[in-house]
Chains A and B, each alone.
Chain A
Amino acid sequence: METIRRNIREFDFTLVGALVGLAVYSCFALLAATYGKTFTSDQVPTHVLTKQLIFEAAGFIALAATAAFDYRSLRKVHWYLYGASLVLLAAVFGMHAVNGAHSWIQLGPLSFQPSEFAKLTLIISVAHYMASVDEQEFPDYGLKQALVIFGLWVPPFVLTLKEPALGQALVMFAIVMTMYVVFTKRVYFVLLTVALFALVIFLAVVALRFPDQAKTALTALVHHGVLQKFQAERIITWLDPNYDPTGAGWAVHQAQVAVGSGEVFGEGLFNGIETRGSWVPNQWTDYIFTAIAEEFGFVASSGLIVLFLLLVYRLVRIAGMVQDPFATYIIVGVVGMFGFQVFQNIGMTMYLSPSTGITLPFISYGGTSLVANYIAVGLAVSAALRRKKLRFH
């Protein structure tokens, strides 16, 4: 009884409220993004909204189940999970490619995206290792530890990159980097911070001052097989919005026009010129933000970003309250994952970041990513419910 009462009292309703808000956004966005698009070349799945509602329900069940489940037991099985995710990541290469990428495992009518779960298992395994280092009597945060951490990161990263799913692979990098920033010793932290700012400044300078040289360099990378041509073109498109506007630059250009045409209050549901006309590709998945921005305007789309910030804030708040390092690292990993994905996904529609194929968490259509994201939040909730409390009874 005591546990239940405490659970209810301690339960983070703001967090759940944010998730419900995101679910509502998702429904309206999907409605807008798929309305009237019955022609075949866009491959709009049938009954998008119904399916998404089922996924949302499954997601909330997964969230509740994960919350009820003691996250600490994951430490015992993390290798199995990690191994299983690698096997699944390898298994996709035996499957049919969808849109040129081996990202899916088909099981009858259901399809499953292993990389979504690989992100979670990566978080768990890295969190476990970082926690075990923390828990040593004389923890060492040196190069050896860094090597182990990045050693855990490499296999799923490489497999995902080979699908090819550059976006997902970069999310894995962002996850590990976020966790490492929290994990590592002060000197490395300072160095990393400096490096991060240097990177941001470097990218800004390259993008704004030397776009041509950068293009040449990217072309060379394609030539040497480091990058796929379409991947390089996405970066070039970001560097130069006028690059091949009817070809490689088409999607992002249309995306930005769609976002911009939303103006303050949007063009209204089903009235978006770009959205209704299907001018933005994959609008129910990767480019879903453009549907929200065009049809509901600045008010609603900035509201969505604020909602994401609220979600991240509530997660960070939980991370600040728990004392279990394993829980801390998991939550930090999840926060890093959401933060990067949201910035990257929304940013690419506005030429703020290069376009990569990743979903907008909780909004994009797709069961795997939705359920995985709910599980991720569920882990945080599980940690919040089981945190040690210094209480006087």
Chain B
Amino acid sequence: MKKDANPKLGRINFVYSLIFVAMVSLILRLGYLQIVRGDSFRTEASMSMLSHLPILPSRGRIYDTNGVLLAYDKPSFSVVLTNLKSPEQDLHKLTQQLAPVFGVKASELYQTMEKTVNGPTQVRIFQNATPAQVSYIYEHQSELPGIQVVEDPQRAYRYGDLAAHVIGYIGKITQDTYDYYVNKLHYSLDQLVGRDGVELQYEKYLQGKPGARVVQINKLGVPIKEFGLDPKPTPGDNVVLTIDAHLQAEAQQIVVDELQRVRQQYGYNPTNAEAVMLDVKTGGVLAMVSYPYYDPNWYVDPKAYLAHEKYLYDPVLTPMINHVIQSPRYPGSTVKPVNVLAGLESGVIKPDTVIYDPGYANVAGYILHNWTYPVGQGAVTPDKAITESNDTFLSYMALWMGNWHGAVPPGETLAHYLVTDRIKGLNTLFYWESLFGLGRLTGIDLPNEVAGHFETEGRVYDLDRAMKALKTKGYFDDHGVVYDLAAASIGQSQQFTPLELAQYVMTIANNGVRLQPHVLKEIVSPDGKVIKRFKTKVQARLKINPEYLKVIKEGMLGVTTSPSGTAYGSFYDAPYTAAGKTGTAQIMMGKRTDHISMFIAYAPADHPQVCIAVMVPGGGESSDTAVPLGRQLFDAYFKEHHEFFPRSQWTNDQVPSNWTQMSAYTLPETTEVSSTIP
């Protein structure tokens, strides 16, 4: 030992060696954590400290056939909660603080927040925030761990209730669609989906794909560094409709005006009215009105929704139902052309058959009065039966089709007759109707279409089963009476939707070529490439004797052009020719007998371009409401297409600039119609 060395040197070196070992063990541990496991730690840090905020894609736009923008996305602000799984974040506290700011119930807000506990860690707790709400969040960011504001696209329907039932609306994924969207298509719960109309029908094209905004957040969830979009959201495809927005606006205004007029003029109280116009060459829907309607923007803004909720669910007004495709109603005399055709085709009448009408028909002892001419029309031919809507002619014709010539056929019992020959007559009538699309789904590309049906004695008559039974067994058990034949011939034993009637008259206009009605024209990608173009779908090419077709077409032309025609009063001065058929169905509205005013037609009669179907329950006689309404629809179409009318009356293809001041836009929600039936 050196002389100047400390006697405690050994112990000191021992202490030093302990510290040396401790420091080396720190370095070893550091090496293990940073070099061996560093990658996984960095991944963990990136996973939890980088927030991947789902960015919703902007939904595809919806245009009318002329390129008029109907629905689009505008930017809006949403509030997103990221569950930090950290003691800094107390969902109860957040709820207490935010519920009054958003103006929502605390319990509901908490329920939304709670989804992040076991589900996805992020959820949009509030959408469409006002600038005041957004700035509140920014100002109180440090008290709101995990709360962020993101920019979301928000749906806007430019013309409000214009074509609302066709366009539909969007909303949150509901309980019953959860499985489909979330489990099958892997949507995030934040994505809004189409709930009705085109928005629902073409959801998969419109939706697009969400992206993510990668943001580094601190432990309070406050973004501190942007890493950009990864992946970028893919915007949805644009949908172009066959709807002509100008015509649609006109149609809605015509409906509103006509309803107003008949209320004042006749004291009627119609609560609903439907009008639809199809392009005869393609089957494309040019205008579709189901009055009253709603404004899809209400579904975007919860406040607006609450303000209109009562109206939306009014059981009489039923503004949410698209009656054009969802409400089959008695078609009345509008079925006469196809029934006459059925009579001709089945051979019971000939184009020159004459039936004498004393003002009523004796249907197996029951006196059926002629609706239009109670005093009788004398000698009636098939075309005249259509023109003047002769019930007697149709009744006898239908009875003959059922092999009823005033009595039970010789050698037959009534009971046996009722399930054989009567069924055969009904089936022939109904079958011909169904060939024109009546009582069947039209196949329109809109959700929730309801098919019409046939009936006897108020019960649904299953045509397919009846035809099969007759073919296989020779009879069909249907407890009806002889009168059913007559009732079917004048449209009292079937219920069809307005769209079915439109398809039917379109098929006549097309000489038996039945096209599928549709609202889609094409789907265009955001960069302008056509992804899908709707090709005209021929559902059937009916084999019809041209001579017979000519008879009914002439009968229908007479409806508007012959002074004795049932629609002559509205069409005598039309600059174009139209062929159509009126209908008035007697119905019970509550305890009161009322009428459905109906009109179906196509124009021009010689080279048809468009067809219409109008149905106004509670609208009185066809000539009171539906016929003048139909006339105006044709006028509007031809004025827009610069045909038949003088230049001074031409219109363009744009939605009127004062649309939001027009009563068609404002009236449905402020309607003075009493929603209770007296």
Min C-beta distance of B16 to chain A, whole Å = 4
Please, what's the 1-or-0 string for A158-195, where 1 marks a CB less than 8 Å from any CB in chain B? Answer: 00000000000000000000100110000001000100
Residues of B within 8 A of A274 (CB): 45, 49
Min C-beta distance of A219 to chain B, whole Å = 20
Which of A246, A277, A321, A325 is within 8 Å of B218, CB to CB? A277
Residues of A within 8 A of B33 (CB): 256, 259-260, 350
Instruction: Decide yes or no whether A30 CB sits under 8 A from chain B.
Output: no
Instruction: Decide yes or no whether A55 CB sits under 8 A from chain B.
Output: no
Contact A182 B11 (CB under 8 A): yes
Contact A350 B30 (CB under 8 A): yes
Which of A40, A298, A312 is within 8 Å of B31, CB to CB? A298
Which of A263, A297, A322, A389 is within 8 Å of B6, CB to CB? A322
Contact B16 A346 (CB under 8 A): no
Residues of B within 8 A of A306 (CB): 23, 27
Instruction: Decide yes or no whether A19 CB sits under 8 A from chain B.
Output: no
Instruction: Decide yes or no whether B44 CB sits under 8 A from chain A.
Output: yes
Please, what's the 1-or-0 string for B1-30, where 1 marks a CB less than 8 Å from any CB in chain A? Answer: 001111111011111101110110111011
Instruction: Decide yes or no whether A302 CB sits under 8 A from chain B.
Output: yes
Contact B216 A343 (CB under 8 A): no
Residues of B within 8 A of A276 (CB): 216, 218, 224-225
Q: Which of B4, B14, B217, B219 has the most CB of A within 10 A?
A: B219
Residues of A within 8 A of B4 (CB): 321, 323, 389-390
Residues of B within 8 A of A267 (CB): 42
8 Å CB contacts to A: which residues of B41-60?
41-42, 44-46, 49-50
Q: Which of B4, B5, B40 has the most CB of A within 10 A?
A: B4
8 Å CB contacts to B: which residues of A37-71?
37, 39-41
Contact A305 B218 (CB under 8 A): no
Contact B22 A301 (CB under 8 A): no
Min C-beta distance of B11 to chain A, whole Å = 4
Stretch at the interface among A97-105, A205-213, A233-241, A328-336: A328-336
Measured CB to CB, the nearest residue on chain B to A271 is B225
Contacts A39-B222, A261-B41 given; does A302 touch B20 at CB 8 Å: no
Instruction: Decide yes or no whether A347 CB sits under 8 A from chain B.
Output: yes
Measured CB to CB, the nearest residue on chain A to B25 is A352
SS class, residues of chain B in contact with chain A: helix
Contact B217 A277 (CB under 8 A): yes
Min C-beta distance of A355 to chain B, whole Å = 15
Please, what's the 1-or-0 string for A122-139, where 1 marks a CB less than 8 Å from any CB in chain B? Answer: 000000000000000000
Min C-beta distance of B25 to chain A, whole Å = 7
Which of B6, B20, B26 is within 8 Å of A346, CB to CB? B26
Residues of A within 8 A of B30 (CB): 259, 293, 298, 301-302, 305, 346, 350
Contact B34 A309 (CB under 8 A): no
Residues of A within 8 A of B14 (CB): 181, 193
Which of A36, A257, A264, A350 is within 8 Å of B224, CB to CB? A36
Contact B22 A260 (CB under 8 A): no
Contact B12 A332 (CB under 8 A): yes
Q: How far is the CA of A273 from the CA of B46 in the complex (A)?
A: 7
Please, what's the 1-or-0 string for B216-235, where 1 marks a CB less than 8 Å from any CB in chain A? Answer: 11111010110000000000
Instruction: Decide yes or no whether A142 CB sits under 8 A from chain B.
Output: no
Stretch at the interface among B80-88, B150-158, B179-187, B576-584: B80-88
Instruction: Decide yes or no whether B132 CB sits under 8 A from chain A.
Output: no
Residues of B within 8 A of A297 (CB): 34
Q: Which of B14, B16, B40, B224 has the most CB of A within 10 A?
A: B16
Which of B15, B16, B42, B219 is within 8 Å of A277, CB to CB? B219
Residues of B within 8 A of A263 (CB): 34-35, 38-39, 42
Measured CB to CB, the nearest residue on chain B to A258 is B45
Q: How far is the CA of A181 from the CA of B18 in the complex (A)?
A: 12
8 Å CB contacts to A: which residues of B72-127?
85-88
Residues of B within 8 A of A278 (CB): 218-220
Contacts A273-B46, A278-B219 given; does A336 touch B41 at CB 8 Å: no
Contact A250 B218 (CB under 8 A): no
Q: How far is the CA of A319 from the CA of B222 in the complex (A)?
A: 51
Contact A262 B34 (CB under 8 A): yes
Instruction: Decide yes or no whether A80 CB sits under 8 A from chain B.
Output: no
Instruction: Decide yes or no whether B405 CB sits under 8 A from chain A.
Output: no
Residues of B within 8 A of A196 (CB): 18
Instruction: Decide yes or no whether B37 CB sits under 8 A from chain A.
Output: yes
Could you give 15 example pairs across A and B, Cβ below 8 Å? Answer: A259-B41, A260-B42, A273-B50, A276-B224, A278-B218, A293-B34, A301-B30, A306-B27, A312-B16, A313-B16, A322-B6, A335-B19, A339-B15, A342-B22, A343-B19
Closest 8 CB pairs of A and B: A260-B41, A263-B38, A339-B19, A277-B218, A261-B42, A182-B11, A298-B34, A39-B142
Since A261-B38, A273-B49, A346-B30 are in contact, a sample of 13 more A-B pairs with Cβ atoms closer than 8 Å, ordered by chain A residue number, is: A246-B85, A246-B86, A250-B87, A260-B40, A273-B45, A276-B224, A278-B219, A293-B30, A301-B30, A321-B5, A336-B15, A342-B26, A352-B29
